[in-house]
């Protein structure tokens, strides 16, 4: 019943709501900053997956960070151990799994692409140790960029061995 107490009680809720507004504004700003960081980091790490045919034909603009898959042509493999420079050629394979299955499976597609002289091809240069799995008809998945000279400069090289997709056992494993 004291008017001073009544006035104090009325001003305290206003102060409390103002403190909540500060935290809401600060939380919103932090959330916006986190969202911007996630978007910019994902955009910087984005890789475009292309087939050899798309990359060679120039259907898409040259990107700095491109991922391409193809079959290794064994007779084109050259390695300089002094400079750790590896160069080879890959041939186009379809990028669609349904199409690969329709053509007889991955092993069949890799084999046919390596033999077909009309299949689009791409020269590759990679600096690093020569992988043991690099051989004829291996599937290569490369990350890098294509230079002005039309050569693909790979920063990352992943290989899948073709014998993994064959149904028969290797000769040394048969009884």
pTM of the model: 0.65
Do the Cβ atoms of 137 and 162 come closer than 8 Å?
yes
Beta bridge partners of residue 73, listed in sequence order: 89
Beta bridge partners of residue 89, listed in sequence order: 73, 123
Q: Give the model's pLDDT for residue 16.
A: 52
Q: Name the more confident of 171 and 31.
A: 31
Q: Give the model's pLDDT for residue 51.
A: 85
Most confident of 56-60, 64-68, 71-75: 71-75
In this structure, of 19-28, 108-117, 164-173, the range with the lowest mean pLDDT score is 164-173
Q: Give the model's pLDDT for residue 63.
A: 57
pLDDT surpassing 70 at residue 154: yes
Q: What is the pLDDT of residues 131-153, one digit of tens each?
A: 888 888 889 999 988 888 889 99
Secondary structure tally for the chain: helices H, strands E: 4, 6
> How far out from the chain centre does Cα 46 lie?
7
Q: Give the model's pLDDT for residue 108.
A: 87
Q: Give the model's pLDDT for residue 13.
A: 52
Q: Identify the CA nearest to 70 among candidates 139, 155, 165, 156.
A: 139
| DSSP output for 49-90 | EEEHHHHHHT-S---SSEEEEEEEEEEEEEEETTTTEEEEEE
pLDDT surpassing 80 at residue 103: yes
Do the Cβ atoms of 113 and 143 come closer than 8 Å?
no
């Amino acid at each position: 019943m004291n008017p001073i107490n009544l006035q104090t009680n009325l001003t305290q809720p206003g102060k409390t709501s103002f403190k909540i507004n500060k935290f809401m504004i600060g939380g919103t700003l932090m959330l916006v900053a986190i969202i911007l960081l996630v978007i910019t980091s994902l955009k910087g790490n984005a890789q475009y997956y292309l087939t050899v045919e798309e990359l060679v034909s120039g259907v898409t603009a040259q990107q700095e960070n491109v991922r391409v898959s193809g079959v290794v042509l064994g007779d084109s493999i050259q390695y300089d151990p002094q400079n750790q420079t590896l160069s080879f050629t890959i041939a186009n394979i379809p990028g669609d799994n349904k199409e690969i299955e329709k053509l007889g499976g991955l092993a069949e597609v890799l084999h046919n692409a390596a033999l077909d002289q009309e299949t689009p091809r791409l020269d590759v240069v990679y600096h690093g140790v020569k992988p043991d799995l690099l051989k004829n008809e291996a599937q290569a998945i490369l990350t890098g960029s294509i230079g002005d000279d039309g050569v693909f400069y790979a920063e990352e090289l992943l290989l899948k061995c073709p014998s993994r997709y064959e149904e028969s056992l290797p000769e040394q494993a048969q009884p």
